[in-house]
């Protein structure tokens, strides 16, 4: 699982997936969602603009294997 530090209170799901390089654009998230390949905290996600905060875990099922990302707030 990859830990991803954010510098704001929240980040949108599509922005997070672009940030980590899982998708080239925010629009590329939609087909993955339609195929049921994106999960947030173990639950299938259908809103690409869902707000994520520290502690949330995003799992993406790619054909080559699953990727997981844990959102972490900036440490003071």
What are the mean pLDDT values of the chain's consecutive 10-residue runs (76 residues total)?
91 95 91 95 94 96 93 74
Q: Rg (Cα) of the chain, in Å, rounded?
A: 11
Paired tokens of 1 = 């699982």
Q: What is the pLDDT of residue 59?
A: 97
Query: What is the predicted pLDDT for the residue at 51?
Result: 97
The per-residue pLDDT for 26 is 84
pLDDT at 75: 56
pTM assigned to the model? 0.90
């Amino acid at each position: 699982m990859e830990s991803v530090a954010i510098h704001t209170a929240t980040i949108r799901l599509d922005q997070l997936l672009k940030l980590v390089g899982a998708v080239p654009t925010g629009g590329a998230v939609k087909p993955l969602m339609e195929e049921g390949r994106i999960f947030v905290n173990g639950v299938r996600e259908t809103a690409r603009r869902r707000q994520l905060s520290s502690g949330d875990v995003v799992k993406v099922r790619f054909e080559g294997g699953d990727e997981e990302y844990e959102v972490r707030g900036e440490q003071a």
